[in-house]
Amino acid sequence: MSEIRFPLPDVGEGLTEAEIVQWRVSPGDRIALDQVFVEIETAKSLVELPSAFEGVVAELLVEEGATVDVGTPILVIQTDASNVADASPAPAAAPAGAEVAAPAVPAPATSVEPAASATSAPASAEAPDGGGAVLVGHGSQAPARSRRRRHPSPGGAHESLAVPAPAPAPAAASAATSAVASAVAAANAPTAPQLSAPGVPVIAKPPIRKLAKDLGVDLSRVTPTGPIGDVTRDDVIREATQASVFRNIQTPDQPTDRETRIPVKGVRKAIANAMVQSAFSAPHVSVFVDVDASRTMEYIKRLKASPDYAGVKVSPLLIMAKAIIWAVRRNPTVNAQWTDEEIVVKHFVNLGIAAATPRGLIVPNVKEAQAMSLVELATALEQLTLTAREGKTQPAEMQGGTITVTNIGVFGMDTGTPILNPGEVGIVALGTIKQKPWVVDGEVRPRFVTTIGGSFDHRVVDGDVASRFLADVASIIEEPALLLE
């Protein structure tokens, strides 16, 4: 018997500690190679750790909620094969040379298979590959072995090779037949656009089901509007938006405790350190501009109706992201990094997106955003946002950013003074877009207006560069057709 003490690895550059959030295994459990056995929280991200060994979990060395340093042992694994077998209850012994057969299922009248040879080798009492005894229809099969299905034959060639098993109870067989018939009938019957009745399967494509899961939407409560009574992407988003509104208007009861103490650790500790470092090391300068975004809103409407953008989320943030990439080409010094010895201007754009998640603020970035088409950028932004909401953003996705955009307009805010993401010299804030009185050709008209703000590191970006850059971003929001140039 040998024991392996699994140390906490460094899952990101410069990681020194992590918090044990949830164990996925318990002492005595079998653990396979690459099986996720624990969730840890690093600086701003939740990471699932896979096992590098196979064996039996002997001991959990760290409790959930504890913070440990990199290199500290957190798990003990026994790798002796005999212990793996002893970790699970042994199957009932079978007579020597006998094979435990599944309950016989009558074959359809139209299905005829030749009987297997009577010289077929009897099954070993030990399951192949250490899989253990499994129920019919579950578990794993040996990849290199295959046998034809055995059906009862008049010759009785198999009577000496199988232990007789009782036929399934008539009531159970009848119930199974009824369940199958009900499922087939429900799948073939057209569904009216109404809430799904209890027990009736919801018609939705796999991507729609994943989107519903990501947004926390119960598909059985969604009113389907698809052509065959299926749930569409818009149905899910509408339900999620309504649920969000209702959650926001609910007022919780006043706590009975006079105060609540929240430990400063994990995400909150990382946010605090980053903001202090940024605010007190980089001299911030902020500029703002009001923009007529009416043409951007019209452009978004046309994109949503385009077949090329079917199934892709299109929002003002997408146009804003593309505008920033375009403006960086005209003002490259806003896409740079300050060091004590030199200014490093980046000729690629890893566009950071400030995302508010239940675990706190994180800033993952879209790698090589300057090389993406508009539809590719839209897909990347959507995937990045969904991953952040799930708390599954990896450390590598938050490293190497060059410039950041934050969409405070989703919270109804007109503008703000964003703090730079450490290591960057520019960040742009997009305010809410709403109709306001706007002077057009000497006349006051209702237009969709927003305010764009930006903060810059004044050691690198002078006031004229910051102003030109923000003016370029504003020009795209006013006239997105400039992106076609």
Contact 455, 419 (CB under 8 A): yes
Question: Residues 151, 158, 284, 458: which is the catalytic one?
Answer: 458
Work out the number of other CB atoms within 10 angstroms of the CB of residue 418.
Answer: 20
- pLDDT tens-digit profile of 345-384? 999 999 999 988 777 788 999 999 999 999 999 999 988 8
Half-sphere exposure of 1 (CA within 13 A, CB side): 11
CATH code of the domain covering residue 52: 2.40.50.100
- How much is the pLDDT for 22? 87
Task: Examine the domain organization and report whether 348 and 436 are in the same domain.
Answer: yes
Identity of the highest mean pLDDT range in 99-108, 241-250, 352-361: 352-361
Task: Examine the domain organization and report whether 287 and 239 are in the same domain.
Answer: no
Do the domain assignments include residue 294? yes
Q: Is 242 helix (H, G, I), strand (E, B) or coil?
A: helix
- pLDDT tens-digit profile of 303-334? 988 888 888 889 999 999 999 999 999 999 99
Contact 355, 385 (CB under 8 A): yes
pLDDT bin (cut points 50, 70, 90) of residue 87 is very low
Of 421, 473, 468, 466, residue with least CA distance to 451: 473
Q: Is 438 helix (H, G, I), strand (E, B) or coil?
A: strand
pLDDT at 221 over 60: yes
Work out the number of other CB atoms within 10 angstroms of the CB of residue 473.
Answer: 27
225 compared with 114, residue with greater pLDDT? 225
Do the domain assignments include residue 181? no
pLDDT at 189 over 90: no
Of 417, 395, 416, residue with least CA distance to 48: 395
**Where in the sequence is the domain holding 58, given as residue range(s)?**
3-86
Window from 81-85, 275-279, 401-405 with minimum mean pLDDT: 81-85
Find the DSSP H helices in 189-287: 206-215, 233-249, 266-281
Q: What does pTM read for this prediction?
A: 0.56
Task: Examine the domain organization and report whether 451 and 308 are in the same domain.
Answer: yes
Of 424, 372, 385, 403, residue with least CA distance to 473: 403
Q: In degrees, to the nearest 5, what angle opens at C-alpha 113 toward C-alphas 109 and 114?
A: 135
CA distances from 375 to 74, 212, 237, 322, 437 (A): 44, 22, 19, 11, 32
Catalytic residue flag (residue 151): no
261 compared with 113, residue with greater pLDDT? 261
234 compared with 461, residue with greater pLDDT? 461
CATH code of the domain covering residue 346: 3.30.559.10
pLDDT at 129 over 50: no
pLDDT at 432 over 80: yes
Question: Total domain count for the chain?
Answer: 3
pLDDT bin (cut points 50, 70, 90) of residue 41 is confident
